Amino acid sequence: MTALTKSRRAKGSKLQRGEGLAGWLFTSPMLLILGLFLLIPVLMALWVSFSDWSGRGSPLSGSVNFVGLDNYRDVTSGGGLDERNFGISMRNNAWYVVLVVPIQTALSLFLALLVNRSVLRGRGVFRTAFYFPSVTSSVAITVLWLFLFSTSGVINKILSWIGVNGPNWFNDPRGVVHVLLDKIGISGGPEALTSSSFLGISLWEWSSGPSIAMFALILMAIFTTSGTFMLLFLAALQNVGAELDEAGMLDGAGAWRRFWSITLPQLRPTVFTVVTLGLIGTWQVFDQIYTGTQGAPGKTTLTPAFLSYQTAFTGQKWGHGSAIAFILFVIIILLTLFQRWALRERPVPKRKRLRRLKSRTEEGSGA
Amino acid sequence: MSQPTKKSEPVKIHPALTTRGGSRSATPLGQLLLYALLVSLAVIYVFPFLVQIATSFKTDAEAASDPISLVPQIWTTQAYEHLFLRSDFPLWFLNSAVVTLLVTLGRVLFVSMAGYALARLRFRGRGLVFALVVAVMAVPGVVLLIPKFLVLKQLGIYDSYAGMVLPLLVDAAGVFIMKNFFESIPASVEEQARIDGAGTFRTFWSIVLPMARPALITITILSFQGSWNELSHFIVSTQSPELTTLTKGVAQLASGQLSQGTQYPLKLASAAIMTIPVAVLFFIFQRHIMNTSEGAIKG
Amino acid sequence: MLGVFTTEVFATELFTTVLELFKGEGHMRVNKIRSLVKISAVLGAGALVLTACGGSGFDDDEDDNDSAQGTNGGEEGELTSSDEALEILIGSSGEAETTAVEDAVAAWSADSGIDAAVSVANDLPQQLSQGFAAGTPPDLFYLAPESLAGYAENGSLQPYGDELENKDDFYDTLVENFTYDDEFYCAPKDFSTLALVINDDIWQEAGLTEEDYPQTWEDLTEVSKTLTSDDHVGLAFGAEFERVGVFMAQAGGGLMADDQPEADSAENVQALEYVQSHLEDGTFAYAADIGAGWGGEALGKEQAAMVIEGNWITGGMENDFPDVNYSVVELPTGPGGEGTLQFTNCWGLAADSSNQQAAAELAQYLTSAEQQLIFSDAFGPMPSIESAADEWTDNNPELAAFLAGADYAQFIPTLVGSVDVIGDFNAQLESLASGDPEAILQSVQSNLEAIAE
C-alpha cells in the first residue's frame, strides 16, 4: 500500500478530478462482475444455508423460512445419513490432503533441483515434460487416469511384470492403512477406536487411510501439480542465486548437507507458498470426482466439495449443500491461517533469514 | 507469484557459501545417474499421454487386451468418426471455443483496465476497490457452485451464453497481475501523453496497453487455459444439451452417463482432442510460460 | 492448470494481506476493515434491490404463474393448457431408444398439431433438479420412482395419473410405485424385471443342459461352482441393492414390509450371508471386481457364466456382443420363495409446464399398447399395461422369464430420502465380502427409520 500513500505527483486538481471519474470507469466492469457473481452469490448462499428452501421458486420468496442453524446441525451432529456422509467426505479429503501436500511439495522441489542445473543438457526438454501434465484439464487427465488404472489397464500390466497382482484400483473401497494392517494380521479395530466416533463415523473408520481408489486420485494430483510447483521453485532457485550449488544432491553427503542448511532455508518462502496453495487446492477436489468416480466405490472418493454439489443439485437439499460449502470455506481459511501462523512463528536461527522474511513482509504490504 | 520471490533488495550471499557450479565436481558416474533419473522421470510424465493417443486409434477389444502398446495392431479411426459424425462432440467443441474466445477477449480488456486504474489512477475509494478484490479472492471456487446458480437464475441468464461467459470475464488474480505489472513500469511516458492532453482512455489504449504486452500475454494464456478447462461453472450455469461444453460433455461421457461399457478409445480420443488447443497454446508460448515465474516476478 | 496455480498464488497474497490486516500494520488496519464493511453493505443492498426487482429468472409465486397462463393448475388437478410447444427430456440408453422416442413424439405432433421436441439428458437427475429450481423444467420427462416423493413434496410435479383413460390397464404394482400421498402422479412408461442371464456356450462347455437351470439357491450354488474356472466366475452382478436385493426378496425379506422399514430382518441377514459366502469362495463376483462395467459386459466378455440383469441386457448384447449366445431364465427360489426386483420410470409432468393438458395426452399416447410394443421392440423394456402382455410374450418367447417376474417382483423404496439410504447401502455392499451383514443391515434399518418418520 506504499504506492497509495506515496504521492508520486501532484499535477493539479483538474487532472485529478478527471482521474477520479476514469478510475471508477476503469474499474466498473470488474466491480460489476465481481459483485454480481462473487459477492452477492456468497451472501445468497449464506441465506440459503440458514433457510428451508426446497429448490423450487426463489430462495428469497416469502414462503422460505429462516431455520437458524438447523442445516449446519444436521450436517455436523444430526446423527443421520447427512452427518455420516459429511464425516465420510471429511475423512476422505483429510487423507487426500495429508498425502498430496507433502509429496507434491517434495517432488516438485526435487524436480526443480534436478532441472535447475545450468550445465544440464536438454533441460528445456525435461522442464517441458514435467510441466506438460499441468496444462491439460482435470477432465482430460481424469479420463486418462481411469484408463491407466482400470482393472486390466496399463498400471496393472506394469505391476504384473514385476510379479505384483495389481488391485482393482477404481473399484476398491478398502482403505490403504487398513489393508497394510491386515497384512500384519490386524483386521479389526480396537474397542477404543470402534466404539467412539466423530461426525458419524467411528475412529476406526477414520483411520482407514485413503481407499485404493482415492489413492489413484492422489497419485493423479501429484502427477498434475508437481510441474506447476516445480516452476515456482525454479523461479525461486534462480532468485536465490545461480551460484548456489543447489543441485549438488547427487554429489555426496556434503552436498546433501549443503542442501539442507543452505538451499532449503533460502527456499523457505516458496515452500510456504507451495504448501499453502496445496492446502487450498486439495480441499476443493471436485472435477476429478465429478468426472471419474462420483464418490464411488463405497463413498470413499466422496469429497466435501462434491458432496455439497450433490446434496444440493441432485438431492434437492439446498440448505444442507450450502451449509457444507460454508463449513468447507471456513476450514480452508482456518487451515491456511493456521499453517501460515505455525510456519511463521518458528524461531529463525539465522539473522539473514530473519532479514529475508522481514523484507518479504514489507513487500507483502506494499504489493 | 510475485510476492514470495519478488525482491526489492538483493539477497547477499556469503562468498563462502557460493560454489563454482556443482556439476564440475560431479563424477561421470554421477552424471550418468542423473541423466538416467531424469530420463526415467520424463518417461513417467510423458508416457501416459502417448498411451492416450495410441489407445484412441485402437479398437475397444485391443484397448482392453493390450493397453500398454504404443502401436495399435489394427489402426482404426472409429473413435474419432463416432465423436465427429455421430455425437454432439463438434457442438461441445464449438461451445468451448466460443466461450473461451469471449472470455479471453473480455478478461484481457477488463482486467488490464482495472489493474491500470488500481496502479496508476488516483481516485477516492481506490483502497476500497482494492480491498474488494482481495476479499473475493479469499472465497474458494467450490463454495460458489450453489450460489452462482442461484444468482444466474435470479438475473435470468441461467442456461445461456451470457450466463456462461459473464461470470468468467474478470478474475481477481488477473487484476493483481496487471496491477503489479503497471506498478513495475515507469509512469513517465504516459504522464507525458496525458499532460499533452490525451484523455485517460486514449492514453491507456494507445500508449499503456502496447507497453504491457508481456503481461497481456500472461493474462491471455491464463484466461484461455482457465476457461477452456473450466468445468464446474458450466455444470451450474447450463442445462440444455445445446450449451454443453467440452469439459462438461467429456466428463459426462467419462462417468458413463452417456454410454454403456468401457469404450476407452472413444473417451481417450475425446480427451486427446480436448488437450490439443491448450497444448498448442503451451508450445507457442512455451518460452513465455517457462519464464513466467521469472518474468512475472521481475515484473 | 497454470490458471489454477496463479489464482492460488494470488490467494496466498491475499492471506498475507488479510493477516496483516488483523495483525494491525499500523494505520491501515481500521481503514481496511471499514472498507470491507462498506463494500459488504453496498453489495448487500444491491442484492436486496435485485430481489425487489423480482428477478426475471424466477417464478416467485406458483399461483402467479398459473394465473398468468389463464388456467388453474396445481392442487385442483386441472391441467394448464396453451399453444406452447412441448419439451420432452429423456435419459436414453442409446441411439435405438432416442430414435424410437423421437419417432413416436413426431407422429403424435403430426397428429395433434402441437409441436414437441425431444432432448436427451446427459445427466437426467441433475438436469431435472436444475430445471425445477430454475423454474424452467421440461414439460414431460423420464422420472424414476425414487425421485417421485422428493419432487412431489416440493411441488415440482403435476399429478395426472387419474386423468388417463388407460389408467386401469397399468399393472397395480406400477401404479403403486408412482403413487404418493394417495395420488397417482404419472403414467408408468414401461418396466423391467431382473432375471438370470446365462452364457450358453460356457454352460454347454461345462456339460450342463437346460435341465440344470437352477431352481433353488442350492442349485445355484452347485452350478456356480461347476461354472467357475480360471477364466470366469459362475455368477456376476453389480455391487448394489438393485441386484443383491433379489436374494433378499427370495429369502422372504426386503427393505420394507407394509410401508414399514424391515431391513434388519433375519431373512435379509440370511440373504446377505449367502451372497457373502459365495463372494468369498469365488463362485460369485461383483461385476466391477472382475473388470466389467456391468453384468452385460461380464457376460459378453465371458468373464462370468451367469449374470443377474434386466430387460435392458438384450439391447446391450445386441450392440456390443452380437455373437454371444445367451438364455434368460427365472431367478431361483430361495428359502422364502420366488423373488426379483422391478424397475420402472414414468412420464413425469412438470407443475411449471404451461401446456400440461397436451403433455398428459402425449403421455397417454406414448403408453398405449401399440407404442409400448414398438418401444419394447426397439430397446427392450416390457409394456406397463396388461393388455399388451400377451402380444409381448408372443413376440419375445425367449424373454418370457422377465415378464413372469412381474408377478412376484418387489420394488425399490420410494420414501423421500430413499435415494441416499440406498446409496449408503450400496456403498456398504461394495465391501460385503469383508463386512458384517448384520451390521450393514442395521445401519440401513436406522437410516430407513429416520426417513420413514
- Tell me: pLDDT of A218 over 70: yes
* Nearest-by-Cβ selection for A171 from C44, C51, C288: C288
Q: What is the mean pLDDT of chain C?
A: 83
pLDDT at C440: 94
Name subunits touching C (3+ CB pairs < 8 A). Answer: A, B
| Residues of chain C numbered 35-64 and touching chain A (CB < 8 Å) | 39-40, 43-44, 46-47, 50-51, 55, 58-62
Per the model's pLDDT, the better-predicted residue between C108 and B87 turns out to be: C108
| Residues of chain A numbered 290-319 and touching chain C (CB < 8 Å) | 296-299, 313-316, 318
| Whole-angstrom distance, CA of residue C272 vs CA of residue C201 | 30
> Helix, strand, or coil here: C121?
coil
pLDDT at C76: 47
Q: How many CB atoms lie within 10 A of CB C182?
A: 6
Please report residues of C whose CB lies closer than 8 A to that of A58: 51, 55, 58, 60
Q: From the candidates C8, C294, C426, which should be mutated to test the interface with A, based on the most A CB atoms within 10 A?
A: C8
- Tell me: pLDDT of C425 over 90: yes
- Tell me: pLDDT of B127 over 90: no
Please write the tens of the pLDDT for every residue from C180-238.
989 999 999 999 999 999 999 999 999 999 999 999 999 999 999 999 999 999 999 99
Q: Is C234 exposed, middle or buried (0-12, 13-18, 19+ CB in 10 A)?
A: buried
| Residues of chain A numbered 336-365 and touching chain B (CB < 8 Å) | 352, 356, 359-360, 362-364
| CA–CA distances in Å: residue C418 to residues A81, C145, C422, C428 | 11, 10, 6, 15
| Whole-angstrom distance, CA of residue B80 vs CA of residue B67 | 18
| Lowest-pLDDT range of A251-265, B4-18, C76-90, C238-252 | B4-18
B214: its cell numbers:
508481456
**What radius of gyration do chain A's Cα atoms show?**
25
Quick one: average pLDDT of C152-181?
A: 91
Residue among A107, A141, A334 at smallest CA distance from A232: A107
| Whole-angstrom distance, CA of residue A163 vs CA of residue A159 | 6
| Whole-angstrom distance, CA of residue A192 vs CA of residue A203 | 8
- Tell me: pLDDT of A8 over 70: no
| Whole-angstrom distance, CA of residue B129 vs CA of residue B121 | 12
With cell 418418520, the residue in question is: C453
| Whole-angstrom distance, CA of residue A248 vs CA of residue A256 | 7
A8: its cell numbers:
508520486
Across the interface, whether the CB atoms of C132 and A56 are under 8 A apart is answered yes
Angle at B126 between CA B122 and CA B131, to 5 degrees: 155
Within its chain, how far is the Cα of C203 from the centroid? 32
pLDDT interval class at A347 (50, 70, 90)? low
Please write the tens of the pLDDT for every residue from B227-280.
999 999 999 998 888 899 999 999 888 876 544 556 889 999 999 999 999 999
pLDDT interval class at A17 (50, 70, 90)? low
Q: From the candidates A51, A137, A277, which should be mutated to test the interface with B, based on the most B CB atoms within 10 A?
A: A137
C439 contact B CB<8A: no
* Nearest-by-Cβ selection for C15 from A229, A316, A337: A337
pLDDT interval class at A339 (50, 70, 90)? confident
Share of chain A above pLDDT 90, in %: 38
| Whole-angstrom distance, CA of residue B77 vs CA of residue B136 | 46
Q: From the candidates A160, A314, A333, A336, which should be mutated to test the interface with C, based on the most C CB atoms within 10 A?
A: A314
Most distant pair of Cα atoms in chain C: their distance: 92
**DSSP structural state of residue B235:** H
Please report residues of B whose CB lies closer than 8 A to that of C10: 1, 137, 172-173, 176-177
| Whole-angstrom distance, CA of residue C32 vs CA of residue B114 | 19
| Whole-angstrom distance, CA of residue A285 vs CA of residue A303 | 7
Residue among A235, A226, A270 at smallest CA distance from A130: A226
- Tell me: pLDDT of A16 over 70: no
Across the interface, whether the CB atoms of C136 and B177 are under 8 A apart is answered no
| Residues of chain A numbered 162-201 and touching chain B (CB < 8 Å) | none
| Residues of chain B numbered 159-198 and touching chain A (CB < 8 Å) | 166-167, 169-170, 172, 175, 180, 183, 187, 191, 194-195
Alpha helices, DSSP H only, in B196-245? Answer: 200-203, 209-211, 213-229, 232-237
**What radius of gyration do chain B's Cα atoms show?**
24
- Tell me: pLDDT of C298 over 60: yes
Please check whether residue B106 is in contact with residue B162, taking contact to mean a CB–CB distance below 8 angstroms.
no
β-strand C187-199 against C304-310: which pairing, if any? antiparallel
With cell 440401513, the residue in question is: C444
